[in-house]
Amino acid sequence: MKRIFLSLAAAFLLFSCEQGSSGEEFNTDQSSELQEQFEFADDQCGTMGVLDEKLASDPDLALNMQAVELHTSSVMKNGLSQRLVNGVIEIPVVFHIIYRTESENIPLSQIQEQIDALNEDFNLQNPGRSTIPAEFQSVESNIGIRFVLEDVIRVNSRNRQWRPDDSMKFTASGGSDVVNPQEFLNIWVVNNMPYRGGNILGYAQFPGGDWATDGVVLDHRFTGNTVYSTGRTATHEVGHWLNLRHIWGDGGCGASDFVADTPDADGPSRGCPTYPTVSCNTNDMTMNFMDYSNDPCLNMFTEGQKVRMFANFENGGFRATMAD
């Protein structure tokens, strides 16, 4: 968003993440049918609700997140250090597959497809890049993060569903404990997540939270290439895990995502919008991974978003140990 001066004290309250993910195999009409089939919640990602609950129960969380924002603001003002400007950061990924039935116990090939999709999206290799409008091509960024499959942990659970309360992240509650979160990205894949009258696709924890619950949670149907997904739900959620906001700043015109090269917008996109879609007197960047467009229509991060993500890896950043 062009307006990047919202107070840091309020910044951490603007997180949420609904990801209207959709595979190449079905169109907008089929997406509507899918929504009816799974009774999606209005917020298809539980991040904002989870964050609200944690802020209410943990008074230190707000201070931790404010510290992250102060550090991020400094890096965005002064620029990245030379060691990060042209480098590639390698992030090992641990998948926790928590399943009840064999269909939920997704195969290694599907997990690798998800890793491949992340590497495409964070390294200018995603298949839809050619559709990015000319006005946005100048700010398209090669983020330079390589994701590598470190381990797959499989847990057979009796649970038919999981609330987004982080219970899947603990062995004691039938899930799987986080593995070395200061070095690894942990992704939990579960069977079903009912929340607020519907089902969600996933949620992420932003920098500044408890290391014991750090990572991303995905519905197995939206992990890798499936009839419903091409893996962009994970790209969106990992963006949040790296401290990106939604493209419209979780508000109307004038709200901020704290990135200067993403145009202002009045809300999320749905389906596959036709360019140009105009709001707030500018063309919307509906193809940005941090919007809600369908999977095949999400195709880019910006240079400003790269700097915001990489602030995590600078000295003093929340995820600095991953860049050592």
Indicate the domain borders of the chain. Answer: 8-316
- The label of the residue with tokens 């906001």 reads 245
Neighbours of 230 (CB within 10 A): 26
Q: Which pairs with CB-CB distance under 8 Å and at least 24 residues apart come from 164-167?
A: 164/46, 164/49, 164/50, 164/193, 164/195, 164/200, 164/203, 164/217, 165/50, 165/53, 166/50, 166/213
Q: Where do the DSSP E strands lie in 36-156?
A: 89-99, 145-156
**Residue burial 211-229, b: 16+ Cβ < 10 Å; e: rest:** eebbbbbbbbbbbbbbebb
The CA distance from 115 to 261, in Å, is 27
Question: For residue 228, what are its two tokens?
Answer: 């419903």
**Digitized pLDDT (tens) for each residue of the chain, 324 residues in all:** 433 333 333 343 333 344 433 333 334 344 444 544 556 655 676 777 788 899 899 999 999 999 999 999 999 999 999 999 888 999 999 999 999 999 999 999 999 999 999 999 999 999 999 999 999 999 999 999 999 999 999 999 999 999 999 999 999 999 999 999 999 999 999 999 998 888 888 999 999 999 999 999 999 999 999 998 999 999 999 999 999 988 988 888 999 999 999 999 998 888 899 999 999 999 999 999 999 888 999 999 999 999 999 999 999 999 999 998
Superfamily assignment of 8-316 in CATH?
Collagenase (Catalytic Domain) (3.40.390.10)
Strand 185-190 to strand 194-195: parallel, antiparallel, or no bridges (unpaired)? unpaired
Alpha carbons within 13 angstroms on the beta-carbon side of residue 234 total: 34
Instruction: List, by residue number, the catalytic residues.
Output: 237
Does this model's pTM top 0.75? My answer is yes
